Structure 1
Amino acid sequence: MCAIFGIIGKYHKDLAINAFETMKHRGDDENYLFLQDNYLFGSYRLSITNTHISLKTLTHQDNLDIFFNGEIYNYQALGDELNLKNPTEHSVIATAYRRWGDKFINHLNGMYAIAIWDKLELKLFRDPLGKKPLYYYHDSKTFVFASEAKAILALITPHLRYEQIPSYLGFCTTISPNTLFKKIHKLQAGECLHLQNNLYTSTIIKELKPKHTSSINAINEVKNQLLSSVEKRIPKEQEVACLLSGGLDSSLIASMATKYLKDKKLHTFSIGYDGYTRHDERIYASQVAKHINSVHTEINFSKKDFLVAFDEVMELLDEPIADSASIPLYWLCKEIKQAGFKVVLSGDGSDELFFGYKHYTELKEIEPMTKIKHRHWLLNHINANFTMHKEWEWYRRVAEGSLLFRGSSNLFTDKQLNKFLKINVKNNTTFDIIKKYYNYFLSIDAHYLNWYSYIDIKTQVGELFLTKIDRMSMSSSLEVRSPFLDIDLVEMALGIDADYRFGDSPKHIIKTIATDYLPHDIIYRKKKGFNYPYMEWLLESHFMKSIHAVQSRYEIFKSSEVEKLIENAKKGHFHHHLYAIIVFCVWLDKKEKLFKKLN
């Protein structure tokens, strides 16, 4: 299944069916709609596992109705443990729930959003990394849940939550449970929601818990766990493809995957930009494809393609996502689906777990300053010499004594939010948004390097990247699986001594593992980071008009500051900041008809 939907309470049948159909792009193989007087449930299916069994048959298990989006990779092992003959994911979910109650998700390895209807009680569950989305809406008469907010938006007149704009600009997306819509929420990663008599409660059932791993055995244990993770994600009933950028992570996943395909060849796909050599890494992807003997497809992404894709992505997004990688990923997923695939592997998660980003090293060098006595004396001097550069903000936080690192997706700082927004944003707003994560982290750990990984897994990966991956791939009924984000591997990595995991060079653990699978020059070439000429193309496009259109109607931003930002972007500076504003304005311009009023 790839989309789930439900209404508990009074509903209009035609409107409900129309709302359900807004998600048909997520699963094009089969759908099932279960209607009763005071409730309705539905699923769309991308048929990957147990393809010979109908969706209706799968749904009804042990006097429970199970509506499930995702994959349970260990369902067969759990089926044996639960003494099930011919287990399916649905039957395992039902039986595990009967045996272990809400904590059954502690036994699952996979990506999922699950709804269980049990004698007029509803339970919703989401996997501990937030791979599969689940939104919900509640008022005095009705409760609605859906895999995408657009199904809920089809039933209500939404209102924009101005107070969530700093979250979007601050982290490139809203942070669960909040959205940009009043009364619409996201179920948090690892959370369970219980609804009865139109009253609901929720609690986090499954949190990330580091599993101690000896530094002596770390490389072998990570290697074995990663191999197991790759193997689990290769479907038995479908062919699998792999996203191949030519970088270390996707190359390692592709190479490992070939070991489990027996007599079949892996299909790999990469995307590049003719005429923009410094952004184009297809030459490296091609080198890896030859090394692993994959069937390789290269796709050129032109300015014309970008403008078409950007417009289509802005239409399909229910909330803006300030990640420029969304656009080529969307295009690439369409091509992979057209090539006949339903499942594709990716290398996401490695940089966050094994310290692949340059700024981790930069921050590590600054951390000792947080212990300097009387550092607050520097604060007035720093505040009097503001710049937009991230380093200015880092030193301001050090002088102030506030949390230095707030995640790799932390884009607009508090000072920048006040500089660009007309609403007043108090100091440390970005910290307040992630404070719940910091409080939990302090209860299990205290090492700042582990904080770097933890907050990035929760926000950059969990809220931004996985949302991007889900929307871009599922728009084409394509499922992306990320072996580095296997829950067992994540908790193992977080349990390795932080100083050892950081090491003397970025991702030294992964590089050591890769020596058995990849050429030396692929492993050790300088990391370029994802980039392409998106801002050059946007600045020349009609989409820039949306900034002025939105400003003339709503005056959300300070126009003079936005104009300065545009001029800076033309000179090659602060592209990501301007991209976030462009995306928000184009999105709001397109979605305006949804809103009754903006208040």
Structure 2
Amino acid sequence: MCRIFGSFSAGAARPDPGELAAVSARQRHGGPDEHDVLSGAGWSLGCDRLAVTDLRGGRQPYRLPHLPGIIAVLNGEIYNHRILRRELAARGHRFPDTCDGTLLPALYAEYGPAFAERLDGMFAVAVLDLRASPLLVLAVDPMGMKPIHYHRGTDGSFRFASEIPALLAFEGVRITPRADTLDTVLATRTSFSTQTALEGISVMPPGATAVVSPGQEPAVRRRPMQPATPSEADFATEDVLRREVRRLARADVPVCALTSGGLDSGLVTALAAEYARETGAPSLHTFHLTYQGKWPGSEHIHARAVARQARTVHHEVALDPGELGSLLTRATRHLGQPNADPIALSTYALFRAVREAGFTVALTGDGADELFGGYSRMREALEAPAGGDWATSYADALSAAPRMLREYLYTPTYRAYIAEEGSAADRIVRELRSARTDRLTAITSFETRWRLPAYHLRRVDHLSMAWAVEARMPFCQPSVAAHARGLSSAARRGKAALYGAGRELLPATVLNRPKQPFTLPVTAMLSPGSALLEPVRELLSPERLVRGGQVRPDRVQRLLARQLERPSDQDALALWALATHELWTEVVRGMAIPVGCAA
């Protein structure tokens, strides 16, 4: 697990070492164990390493003595590296250590840009091929767990990095927020598709490979998904998940699990604890975040029940709400893009506690809802009558502020701009309506292709790596995703298959409770005297909003007054989204590198 970066151009000049050092420094929190960069005429390749596999070996960038013209860097984990190493050794390749990424130059030498089709894991890989006509090949895992952000300059130069703040440290990468970003945040809570919130900066789509030639546009293609096979009986879901949890629970560093108190993380916790007992390993440690004081929606009782039944060493992290204002700024800086989910603060604080307790790998339950139909918006869309406009209702359920509220808040000029350019919500509706498949498949395909990687996985990746913790997600492994696609519609609705898998593993109180997301009680915290009210009020001051020119300050103030008088989840989330966008605008502009200065 690491942070990677690099540049590629048609020029003969060697990249500026000071500039590359500045790029590395901005994402070193995710790779504190080792730092190295190689460069040559028109290219650079660098890595900030978090050592998880073969702690003494695995120095990056990877090079093999018998393949001097191929250089590679890896962010993530390749779970089938032992199998691949044996296959490559049989073809005559030799390796200096047992680190998973060391085999990448040999794998590329054998298969070229198709090498990524043989990888099983979560990964973002960059391979530089200098043997003939120079090529840069980038690849990300099928679910998009590990990101690559990139920028192509007007001179044809190409730059990439794991995190946007690091990419912005390259000279020539300008900070220009997209005009439609505010609407995107309010309509979908974060930027979807291959676009980011900044002009000229793109992100690799899940399961994609990009081939870059000097001075040319990158040729990006999505690799074929692992095919869905006819499912076994529904109870086989437990076996598929058990196999992945056991595989991901192996590491050369301490491993723990995040336990929210819900079904998804509970299943991962129970299976990981089972594996620890069977292998004679130390008892599994579990972590749960709650807040000091009494707040609605606390799940700590359910998390304790899961931990008690699984026999884990349980850590209950009680966060002081007074710290949330400072956490908001830090989490926003690490995310690099606006994300309107209040869970970001909880996620950041939880991974901090994991790292401070001495753990480097954490198992999580992310991805289950998207694959197994767990969201209420999915149920409502499936129950909507034929011929009804279920797609528009579905898109509205994704928003931080419904369409009517957005239009009420916008200035006339901004409202007209969005009407002309189109909203991200409109694009989602068109995609759902145009799907040539059944409604459930259309929904899960959209959720896993676009929303899951952009909204959830990016948050987990950036905020775990902010504390040098590798988050592993069993539900996001290709075998689990393929298994879910092969289940009957009944088994995929409402996570029926997962509830079946949990009958013997989880307490009845957890199985029978209503679904509840792991989040921050933002409605209660935007109330008089609460820790978050003043930071949000300051971010939404009329003086700030007038400068932006996109929302009407008077109407935002009315919304805030209504929230204080009659608290509601809808108004609280809308205010939170407006505030996080405003803070992101401020934070990202502070990342500008003065022209001619690399640090």
Q: TM-score, normalised by structure 1?
A: 0.87
**Is 2:365 the partner of 1:354?**
no
State the AA in 2 paired with 1:429: S
For 2:455 and 2:238, the matched residues in 1 are separated by 27
Structure 1 contact 420–562 (Cα < 8 Å) conserved: yes
Judging changes above 3 Å, is the alpha-carbon distance between structure 1 residues 225 and 448 closer, same or farther for their aligned structure 2 residues? Answer: same
Partner of 1:564: 558
Range with bigger deviation, 527-536 or 130-139:
527-536
For 2:539 and 2:296, the matched residues in 1 are separated by 30
**Is 2:119 the partner of 1:108?**
yes
Unaligned runs of 5+ in 1: 371-396
For 1:440 and 1:73, the matched residues in 2 are separated by 36
**Is 2:402 the partner of 1:409?**
no
Partner of 1:256: 271
For 1:238 and 1:595, the matched residues in 2 are separated by 36
1:40 to 37, 41, 44: 44
Structure 1 contact 210–492 (Cα < 8 Å) conserved: no
Structure 2 contact 361–472 (Cα < 8 Å) conserved: yes
Range with bigger deviation, 145-154 or 422-431:
422-431
Structure 2 contact 339–455 (Cα < 8 Å) conserved: yes
Structure 1 contact 191–202 (Cα < 8 Å) conserved: no
Structure 2 contact 168–593 (Cα < 8 Å) conserved: no
Partner of 1:545: 538
**Is 2:79 the partner of 1:64?**
no
For 2:212 and 2:312, the matched residues in 1 are separated by 49
For 1:113 and 1:572, the matched residues in 2 are separated by 43
Structure 1 contact 5–147 (Cα < 8 Å) conserved: yes
2:23 to 14, 19, 24: 19
- 1:108 CA displacement: 1.7
Structure 2 contact 38–46 (Cα < 8 Å) conserved: yes
For 1:218 and 1:485, the matched residues in 2 are separated by 21
% identity of equivalent residues = 24
1:485 to 444, 462, 476: 476
Partner of 1:92: 103
- 1:43 CA displacement: 0.2
For 2:321 and 2:553, the matched residues in 1 are separated by 28
- 1:349 CA displacement: 1.3
State the AA in 1 paired with 2:508: H
Judging changes above 3 Å, is the alpha-carbon distance between structure 1 residues 361 and 180 closer, same or farther for their aligned structure 2 residues? Answer: closer
2:492 to 501, 518, 523: 501
SS of aligned partner of 1:516? coil
Judging changes above 3 Å, is the alpha-carbon distance between structure 1 residues 452 and 538 closer, same or farther for their aligned structure 2 residues? Answer: farther
1:75 to 37, 57, 81: 81
State the AA in 2 paired with 1:555: G
1:464 to 439, 442, 455: 455
State the AA in 1 paired with 2:85: G
Judging changes above 3 Å, is the alpha-carbon distance between structure 1 residues 126 and 421 closer, same or farther for their aligned structure 2 residues? Answer: farther
2:508 to 502, 506, 520: 520
State the AA in 2 paired with 1:569: Q
State the AA in 2 paired with 1:458: R
1:15-67 CA-partner distances (Å, limit 9, x unpaired): 22112211110111111111324222110111011222141474447331011
- 1:167 CA displacement: 2.4
Judging changes above 3 Å, is the alpha-carbon distance between structure 1 residues 487 and 198 closer, same or farther for their aligned structure 2 residues? Answer: same
RMSD (Å) for aligned C-alpha atoms: 2.5
Structure 1 contact 177–185 (Cα < 8 Å) conserved: yes
For 2:355 and 2:137, the matched residues in 1 are separated by 33
Range with bigger deviation, 239-248 or 512-521:
512-521
- 1:436 CA displacement: 8.7
State the AA in 1 paired with 2:269: A
- 1:432 CA displacement: 4.8
Judging changes above 3 Å, is the alpha-carbon distance between structure 1 residues 554 and 404 closer, same or farther for their aligned structure 2 residues? Answer: closer
Unaligned runs of 5+ in 2: 595-599
For 2:4 and 2:582, the matched residues in 1 are separated by 29
For 1:71 and 1:163, the matched residues in 2 are separated by 35
**Is 2:169 the partner of 1:169?**
no
1:243-287 CA-partner distances (Å, limit 9, x unpaired): 011111111111100122222200000111233253221111112
Range with bigger deviation, 416-425 or 482-491:
416-425
Counting matched residue pairs gives 560
Judging changes above 3 Å, is the alpha-carbon distance between structure 1 residues 92 and 221 closer, same or farther for their aligned structure 2 residues? Answer: farther
State the AA in 1 paired with 2:152: H
1:554 to 540, 544, 548: 548
1:89-132 CA-partner distances (Å, limit 9, x unpaired): 22433333333332332222211111000012111111121111
Range with bigger deviation, 138-147 or 523-532:
523-532
**Is 2:173 the partner of 1:180?**
no
Partner of 2:341: 323
Partner of 2:141: 127
State the AA in 1 paired with 2:343: A
Structure 1 contact 413–430 (Cα < 8 Å) conserved: no
For 1:440 and 1:144, the matched residues in 2 are separated by 35
Range with bigger deviation, 92-101 or 482-491:
92-101
- 1:532 CA displacement: 3.4
For 1:369 and 1:154, the matched residues in 2 are separated by 50
Range with bigger deviation, 98-107 or 146-155:
98-107
Judging changes above 3 Å, is the alpha-carbon distance between structure 1 residues 193 and 365 closer, same or farther for their aligned structure 2 residues? Answer: same
**Is 2:248 the partner of 1:233?**
yes
- 1:494 CA displacement: 1.5
- 1:317 CA displacement: 3.1
- 1:173 CA displacement: 1.2
State the AA in 2 paired with 1:160: P
SS of aligned partner of 1:278? coil
Judging changes above 3 Å, is the alpha-carbon distance between structure 1 residues 556 and 121 closer, same or farther for their aligned structure 2 residues? Answer: same
Q: TM-score, normalised by structure 2?
A: 0.87
SS of aligned partner of 1:299? strand
Partner of 2:222: 205
Judging changes above 3 Å, is the alpha-carbon distance between structure 1 residues 437 and 346 closer, same or farther for their aligned structure 2 residues? Answer: farther
- 1:560 CA displacement: 3.2
Structure 1 contact 449–499 (Cα < 8 Å) conserved: no
Judging changes above 3 Å, is the alpha-carbon distance between structure 1 residues 462 and 407 closer, same or farther for their aligned structure 2 residues? Answer: farther
For 2:243 and 2:430, the matched residues in 1 are separated by 32
- 1:141 CA displacement: 4.9
Structure 1 contact 414–429 (Cα < 8 Å) conserved: no
For 2:434 and 2:7, the matched residues in 1 are separated by 33
State the AA in 2 paired with 1:524: N
Partner of 2:208: 191
State the AA in 2 paired with 1:426: A
SS of aligned partner of 1:368? coil
- 1:465 CA displacement: 0.4
For 1:99 and 1:354, the matched residues in 2 are separated by 37
Partner of 1:6: 6
